[in-house]
Amino acid sequence: MTAPPLPNGLVAVVKKDCPTCVLVAPVLEDLAFRADLTVITQDDPTFPTDAPWVVHDEDLALSWHHDIETVPTLLQVADGAATETTVGWSREQWEAFTGVDDLGADLPDMRPGCGSLSVDPTRTDELAVRFSGSTLHSRRIEIAALEDDWEAMWDRGWSDGLPVVPPTEARVLRMLEGTTRSPGDIVAVVPPNLVECTVEKVAVNAVMAGCKPEYLPVVLAALEAVCTDEFNMHGVLATTMSVGPIYVVNGPIRREIGMNSGINVLGHGNRANSTIGRAVQLLVRNLGGGQPGGVDRSTQGNPGKLGLCFAEDEEGSYWTSYAEDRGFDPSVSTVTAYCGEGPRIIIDQLDRAPESLTRLLARAMLATNSPRMAIGMDAMLVISPEHQARYRDAGWDKARFRAALDEELMIDADSILRGKEGMAEGFPELPAGTRVPKFHPELGVQIVHAGGGAGLFSSVIGGWLTGEGGSVPVTKEIRP
């Protein structure tokens, strides 16, 4: 919609529901006769009086298009646009602005103004939709008056099983304010149906997931990560293993959007942690067609497939961060997509020496996926602050810990052959008398520091097939 022109000359924008506007009502009437003032009133067409020089901004189009944030506002207007403005009431400023002396002699020298109705939080979404001109290209679905929004969206297959937020035009436009990217920009080609996904489509599903606008850059980067050939989202969906995308966020954005890296870090309770991964999963489901029972063939699944996303506790760690290990500077915000199963608790409440704690962590990790499997998979170790403190106290850096852990994760090849120890599962053959690594020799164990400050518990998240035909972790920089 084209901005309607303001009347030329001296203009005042007011509302009756503003004590300062009521205070200066006599001044406005004085100026109307002494300086040819036009008053634009936002709420009451007879305020400050019923006169030809009072214009009712009934739909707030004038106020919205001309960025009126405070009332009263005085404007000098030429060719339909403001050239000068002043807000609130100040006798000295009003006299200088209008060139008229002796204004409001019996009034206080100054009073602050009030918020314009055009910036009222209860109206801004509606006004943006009405006046900005719809820039959205997504298909509109009309919901009947007697339909329940949640039930209607469930019936149309848009939900992951939990209630979703109706993606109204106003909500989607507000979500798009979270990024500088154009709504029409292509973010990724989403598997399994290989559908081009725009920033707008990401915003729609981010609304449905319950995200705030400031989370949108993280959702965009996370979607980019899982839609790479390296991550292999189609394969992650199609495998019968109970794995799915897990997102680790690093860098300044963790604190900027209030992510959790401490108590209950892998659980519920934090809005950003709970909704970012869910938004990506909804995109894969709603846009890409990756629905359970279709391409998604997971035998049992795991709760993390709703969307598991968490932040690393960088401030509480004395080791390099996960993102630094992956080649990124600490000043850069990143999200890493990792394909994994549900977290498993590792308990060690007695070990004080780093060597013995490493040994126990490795023993627990040897059972990841299956105690009879090795070499082809990876794992993520989420080490808690109290467990990491054992290494801090002993002066072990991350490289030393990793080397010791890798050594403890070597397996006697003879022990995992088929039929050994009365178990059919295992390798058909391996070189006799050799040792093999539990996890992929190149990627190995992904190490992330997170969790509450109290509790001698860490977690391991088993991975899927690593490398060709499987998935590798993918890190993307989070851009505005």
Predicted local distance difference test score (pLDDT) of residue 133? 65
Judge if 114 and 159 occupy the same domain. Answer: no
Considering 98, 131, 164, which residue would you say is the last residue of a domain? 131
- 192 and 62 in one domain? no
Domain boundary among the residues 81, 97, 131 is at 131
Q: Which amino acid is at 309?
A: C
List of residues 6+ apart from 97 with CB closer than 8 A: 74, 76, 84, 86
d(CA 480, CA 220): 9
CA distances from 95 to 25, 98, 293, 329, 367 (A): 15, 5, 74, 56, 82
Q: Mean pLDDT over residues 116-139, rounded?
A: 84
147 lies in some domain: no
> Please, which contacts does 151-154 make with residues 24 or more away whose CB atoms are closer than 8 Å?
153/208
In this prediction, residues 309-325 reach a mean pLDDT of: 97
Are 418 and 312 members of one domain?
A: yes
Same domain, 159 and 110: no
Q: Which structural domain range is residue 404 located in?
A: 152-477
Q: Is 119 exposed, middle or buried (0-12, 13-18, 19+ CB in 10 A)?
A: middle
200/88 same-domain check: no
CA pair distance 139, 232, nearest whole angstrom: 29
Residue range 258-283: mean pLDDT, rounded: 97
Q: Is 276 helix (H, G, I), strand (E, B) or coil?
A: helix
Cis peptide before 72 (omega within 30 of 0): yes
- 73 in Cβ contact with 20 (< 8 Å): no
**Considering the domain boundaries, does residue 363 fall inside one?**
yes
Confidence (pLDDT) at 139 = 83
Residue 61 has pLDDT above 90, yes or no: yes
Residue 144 placed within a domain: no
CA neighbor of 185 nearest in space, from 139, 226, 212, 216 = 216
Domain of residue 70, CATH code: 3.40.30.10
Residue 337 belongs to a domain: yes
Cα(204)–Cα(449) distance, integer angstroms: 32
Looking at the structure, do residues 312 and 422 belong to the same domain, yes or no?
yes
Predicted TM-score (pTM) of the model is 0.84
* Joined tokens for residue 250: 């690093």
Residue 294 domain-assigned (yes or no): yes
Mean pLDDT in the chain? Answer: 95
259 and 403 housed in the same domain: yes
Tokens of 423: 């178990």
Q: Per the structure, how many domains does the chain have?
A: 2
100 and 207 both lie in a single domain: no
Round to whole Å and give the CA distance between 205 and 195: 15
Contact between 355 and 404 under an 8 Å Cβ cutoff? The reply is yes
Same domain, 167 and 82: no
Q: In sequence order, what DSSP letters do the residues of 37-54 get, joined into one string?
A: EEEEESS-TTSS-SSTTE
215 and 254 in contact (C-beta within 8 Å)? no
pLDDT at position 162: 95
193 and 67, same structural domain? no
Instruction: Return the structure tokens found at 101.
Output: 């002396």
Within a domain: residue 361?
yes
Phi, psi dihedral angles at 188 (to 5 degrees)? -165, 165
The confidence score (pLDDT) of residue 144 equals 83
Give the confidence band of 444 by pLDDT, cuts at 50, 70, 90.
confident
Determine, yes or no, domain membership for 1. Answer: no
**Same-domain check for residues 330 and 466:** yes
Mean pLDDT of 426-449: 92
Scored b (16 or more CB within 10 A) or e, 349-387 reads eebeebeebbbbbbebbbebbebbbbbbbbbbbbbbbbb
End residue of a domain, out of 131, 165, 186: 131
By the 8 A CB rule, do 449 and 397 touch?
Answer: no
Given a cut of 80, is residue 26 above it in pLDDT?
Answer: yes
pLDDT band at residue 468, thresholds of 50, 70 and 90? Answer: confident
- Check residue 438 and report its DSSP letter: S
Mean pLDDT of 369-378: 92
Instruction: Fill in the amino acid letter for 374.
Output: A
Whether 141 is in a domain gets the answer no
Q: Are residues 188 and 73 in the same domain?
A: no
